[in-house]
Chain A
Amino acid sequence: MLVLHKPGGGSPGSVAALFGLGLIGARLARRLQGLGYATAAELPFSWGKRQDRGREVSDIAAGLKAMEQGAAGPRRLDIVWSAGQGGFGMDEEQVRRELADFADVLDLAAGLAQKPAQRAVRVHLLSSAGGLFEGQRNVTVSTPPAPKRCYGMLKLRQEQLLSQVEGVTRIVYRPSSVYGFSGPGKRLGLIPTLLANGARYQVSTIYGAPDTLRDYVSVQDVAQFLARQVDAAPGGSRTMILASARPTSLGEVLCAVETTLKRKMFITYRGDASCNTAHITFSRRTWPRDWRPCGIDVGIRTLWNFFCH
């Protein structure tokens, strides 16, 4: 996990503790650095290994407290959970492990919120709109989540666990299908895979149907929005859906990738009725204030430029 610190002119300012530096977490760290945060420490957090957990959590708590010592005035601590080891296909054992990790971080947050009283603790949870609303169309903020697989159950359970933590501000983000480049050697999502395979004239295998509707949001937009939320003055607890509200079929994504690459893609489709083919779309009424995602065409072109340079 990464600890970032933004000096606050005499006061300790803001501290952000990021758990999970994957696709969104790494981008968020960079955005926060752009907003004046600097890396203060990189502390170990062993995913799924409970034997080291007590010591690690104590170290993290001590490290965070040490940053505040000797300073006066209001303090702010933002704990961001953007971690996740498994994807849509995770099993119950992975869910159990990830829930245990998350519960430890919530205990840490609850402990830090108890004293001193002038410290404001906010917990930001990266949930998943795709997992919670799989198979639902035109989802609004009032649509009840109805997860269909372990991944969605995990996200719902995490949200429920967070809602039980007292003394912290709870901010839940439910991004739809996030696309972006997570870094060399790391797992690629659908769109980066299509771009990479297309560039190398390789065949892409798609587990789904060309008319499957999804809602795609760029990791740049999500990270930028999150960074602003972390950097903003404390507000109330809230849950936000981060969706483009622009249903996009897989066929349209392919079309946009082909237009960007200026070549035909080699595609094979695999999958049956139980495969990942359920539509998931969102209403524009879900948009939180200041959330302005870019279109899929622009996002794919931006990602391709990122690949090229």
Chain B
Amino acid sequence: MTITLSTVTPVYSGEKYLAGLVGQLDLLRTRWERENAPIRLLECIFVDDGSIDDSAAVLKGLSEKYSFVRVISLSRNFGQHPATAAGILYTSGDWVATLDEDLQHPPHLIETLLRKAVAKQADVVYVHPSERVHGSLIRDLGSRSIKKILSVLTGNKNIEHISSFRLIRGSVARATSSVCSHNTYFDIALTWFTNKIEYISEPLHDERHIQSGKSGYTLGKLLSHARRMVLSTHTKVLRAGGLLGLAMFLVSILFSFYLVVNAFFPFHVIEVKGWTSTMTAIMFIGGITLFLLGIVLEYVSIVLLHTQGKPVFFVIDREMDAPLRAYFAEPDHARPA
């Protein structure tokens, strides 16, 4: 049984790098073929996400030269995550690797990701940068902070290690992409399907950013990213609102009790007439309102989960990892995962 791999690369301004990337992918493909590995690079899908340079023409040339290169053109620039989701929906491999266009994600690491995945029976493996990626303290710190927040919101520590260089089990990748909507953060949606998430640490460098100081991610785009991230974890945010309402309701009751007691046994003199009754009414009604709002938010969160397609369950077959695990265990191919 041969296991198949598809790669997905969103393309926006990668004309200088695409030939090199495809060349490296071809090296990986031919090496696996030469070594008679039980894995085959089935297809490399490039998603032209409304590219602003000559990437479309370069991709056309590459698809004519390499039979495994496949190009999908989006009607306009939708952004990296939608482009990745679109590309994944065109894959049919048992595993799907997503990598950037600019060679900051070396294709030879895909095998290391596979080793980790089959060794740990993981469904998702990320490449976590072991050094600064962008060579900029603020940019790298910002990126790390967002991941930290995400980790807290999802309750999944591995999310701290997310990056756009990931290996995903094909069925999980396609199921996740099919439920992604406008405001879904792809990596959060992955956690709806699996918690078997692993990572490897490797030095990754965004040479384009380091050399030019320019990034495809402006401050606005990063904030939009963070917003989607928070919206994708909607239940936690909404639940926080509900809990706040409940807390305020309890505080209002306690405070009202204090005010009533104070009115009869004044240990704190309030000279304004009617203050106690007015405050008690405001606190009580305010607390009740917030509490009811919290209940409404709980309902909203249920509806959101339903409409966003969060699965009640998801069936998976990890048996297919066996041949690859056996292959990697052979003395000639054994390397640490």
Total interface residues on A, CB under 8 Å, equals: 22
Given A137-B4, A209-B315, A281-B92, A252 contacting B70 (CB threshold 8 A): no
Q: Does B224 reach chain A (CB closer than 8 Å)? A: no
B92 touches A279 (CB 8 A): yes
Across the two chains, which residue of chain B brings its CB closest to A269?
Answer: B315
In whole angstroms, how far apart are the Cα atoms of A284 and B315 in the complex? 29
Across the two chains, which residue of chain A brings its CB closest to B91?
Answer: A247
How many Cβ-Cβ contacts under 8 Å join chain A to chain B?
A: 53
Q: Does A255 reach chain B (CB closer than 8 Å)? A: yes
Segment 55-78 of B: residues with Cβ below 8 Å from A: 67, 70
Q: Does A138 reach chain B (CB closer than 8 Å)? A: yes
Closest chain-B Cβ to A182's Cβ sits at a distance in Å of: 27
A211 touches B174 (CB 8 A): yes
Contacts of A279 in B (CB 8 A): 92
Q: Does A210 reach chain B (CB closer than 8 Å)? A: yes
Q: Does A249 reach chain B (CB closer than 8 Å)? A: yes
Q: Does B192 reach chain A (CB closer than 8 Å)? A: no
Segment 195-247 of A: residues with Cβ below 8 Å from B: 209-211, 213, 245-247
Interface centre among B91, B92, B175 (most CB of A within 10 A): B92
In whole angstroms, how far apart are the Cα atoms of A252 and B309 in the complex? 11
Q: Does A283 reach chain B (CB closer than 8 Å)? A: yes
B92 touches A137 (CB 8 A): yes
Closest chain-B Cβ to A139's Cβ sits at a distance in Å of: 10
B178 touches A255 (CB 8 A): yes
A284 touches B70 (CB 8 A): yes
In whole angstroms, how far apart are the Cα atoms of A249 and B43 in the complex? 18
In whole angstroms, how far apart are the Cα atoms of A156 and B314 in the complex? 37
Segment 120-138 of A: residues with Cβ below 8 Å from B: 137-138
Q: Does A251 reach chain B (CB closer than 8 Å)? A: yes
| Neighbour of A249 across the interface among B93, B178, B317, CB < 8 A | B178
B92 touches A138 (CB 8 A): yes
In whole angstroms, how far apart are the Cα atoms of A175 and B42 in the complex? 22
B178 touches A252 (CB 8 A): yes
| Neighbour of A246 across the interface among B4, B90, B175, B315, CB < 8 A | B90
In whole angstroms, how far apart are the Cα atoms of A280 and B309 in the complex? 25
Q: Does B179 reach chain A (CB closer than 8 Å)? A: yes
Contacts of A246 in B (CB 8 A): 89-90
| Neighbour of B175 across the interface among A247, A251, A256, A283, CB < 8 A | A251
In whole angstroms, how far apart are the Cα atoms of A137 and B306 in the complex? 32
In whole angstroms, how far apart are the Cα atoms of A137 and B175 in the complex? 18
Closest chain-B Cβ to A294's Cβ sits at a distance in Å of: 14
Interface string of B253-280 (1 = CB under 8 A from A): 0000000000000000000000000000
Selected A-B contacts with CB under 8 Å, 5 pairs: A247-B89, A249-B171, A252-B174, A279-B92, A283-B43
